[in-house]
Structure 1
Amino acid sequence: MKVAVLDDDKAVLETVAKLLDEAGFQCATFDNGRQLVRTLHRETFDLFVIDWNLPDLPGLNVLEWIRNQIGAQPPVLLLTNRVSDEDLVAGLRAGADDFVTKPYHPAVLLARVEALARRSTMNLSRTTETYGKLDFELTSKTLRLSGEVVHLTPKEFSLALLLFRNLNRAVSRAYIFETIWGMDPDLSTRTLDIHISKIRSKLALRPENGFRLTPVYGYGYRLEEHLA
């Protein structure tokens, strides 16, 4: 799981990254909010740990940007020395999933991050995932549309499942390549575009069928629900 850690204190960044790396998370660190936002235009993360008090772009503003531009799915944990009820309410309304107050105990921070990670992946242990008329049978890697088998290659199945698991959320090309192809250096962006085109056709991802798969310029792709 890829985690973005944002804090202007270099010592905190190093400590948190080391803690999460040792627990099996893949961490990227950022010491200012604008740097993280720029990175989010080309990369995708599964979970965020964000300091509320930042000098350039407050953590709450970064959180609001994530919710407005990426969506409600990726969990966000705020690090803060604010303890008033008003501040906590403001953070929750902005989209925070949890808080850890500074100074924090490493075990508490890790436990809260792990809890958010479990919550975001708890449905991934199912043997079947259903999205509208589409049923993903995970054990056999079979996809059915209205009960009829859709013939997909293994990569097409994995890519389609990745997009549906990130429904209504833009997913970067870099994240797709890393997740589906393992960052094979011989791959071209054309490879992804061809797979996207085949998935769109085979799964009938058109507005009249409830879903729309569109490119996000300079970033990647977004699969959206389309309500009539």
Structure 2
Amino acid sequence: MNIACLTSTQTAATAIGAHLALAGMDVRHCDDLNALLHAVRQGFLHAVVVEPAEEQIDDWLAILCERLPREVPVVVVSMQMDARTAARAFAGGACDYLPLAQVADLPLRLTAHCAARRLRQSNVLELGGFVLRRDTMSVRRDGVDVLLTPREFALAWALFSSAGNVVSLSRIAAQVWGRDIDISKRTIEQHMYKLRTKLGIGNRPGSRIQAVYGVGYRLEIDEHCGVAAPAGLTARRRADASAYSRPA
């Protein structure tokens, strides 16, 4: 994997470079943001890791999210764990955030994020008994159709394609309603409630949509979890189920 790295401290550069190299990843250390953007223009990058100073985080992420291809994830590393900085990182478009003390986890996280980004480029997602088809905007659970509106499907796709990761409120608004539309948290909450109900997520252990306060939402789903029957079954499927339940 080819990783571009931009840090504000030599300590972070050394630690990040050592752990990524140990995992067999090729690391390109960039002296400044212009050098990083040059690496982006050259292509062949799988991911970007940045360790900005507090006053740099918003500007760095705004520029990277505008210039980077969508399939290239950005991970923010910080000298210390800070909930406020983490919230800013996710709101700015970063897919992950971790303190420098946990940088040993970085190679595994980068591998997972790159795999998830590749998955999002496909038209079909299969996870935990669900099958989502982007070309037909359809969802099936254990072979049963689940009726979703176009916005509900867009919301489901955003969550399932990033399962296990936090999907920021700004990204949800951009993917579901359009980048230039300001959507209230209450509106997103209402759509999230409807989606939970229709998919039956959260009715049994192993699946839930978790709200990360002030940041976004995360889908947690076990590949083998049992999910209660969703509310969005097609009328034909409901009739079939009723027929099979009638006494002989």
TM over 0.5, shorter chain: yes
Aligned match of 1:225: 221
Instruction: Return 4-13 or 155-164, whichever deviates more.
Output: 4-13
C-alpha displacement of 1:122 = 2.8
Alpha carbons 2:209, 2:220 under 8 Å: kept: yes
Q: Do the aligned partners of residues 36 and 193 (structure 1) sit closer, same or farther apart at CA in structure 2, a change above 3 Å counting?
A: same
Match of 1:47 among 73, 79, 87: 73
Match of 2:164 among 161, 168, 171: 168
Please state if 1:212 is matched with 2:208: yes
Aligned match of 2:199: 203
Give the 5 Å matches for 1:1-228. 6-8=6-8, 12-20=32-40, 31-32=52-53, 36=57, 47-48=73-74, 57=79, 93-96=104-107, 119-208=115-204, 210-225=206-221
Which amino acid counterpart does residue 17 of structure 1 have in structure 2? L
Once residues 183 and 121 of structure 2 are traced to their aligned partners in structure 1, the CA distance between those partners, rounded to angstroms, is 30
Larger Rg: 2
Post-superposition Cα deviations, 1:155-192, rounded to whole Å, max 9, x if no partner, equal 11111011011112122101211232223335322221
Alpha carbons 2:208, 2:221 under 8 Å: kept: yes
Identity among equivalent positions (%) equals: 25
Which runs of 5 or more structure 2 residues have no equivalent in the other structure?
10-29, 227-248
Using structure 2 for the length normalisation, give the TM-score.
0.54
Post-superposition Cα deviations, 1:121-167, rounded to whole Å, max 9, x if no partner, equal 33334442211121112221110122121111111111101101111
Once residues 157 and 54 of structure 2 are traced to their aligned partners in structure 1, the CA distance between those partners, rounded to angstroms, is 31
Question: What RMSD, in angstroms, separates the aligned Cα atoms of the two structures?
Answer: 4.6
Aligned match of 2:17: none
Q: How many equivalent residue pairs?
A: 178
3-state SS of the aligned residue for 1:182? coil
Using structure 1 for the length normalisation, give the TM-score.
0.58
3-state SS of the aligned residue for 2:209? strand
C-alpha displacement of 1:118 = 6.5
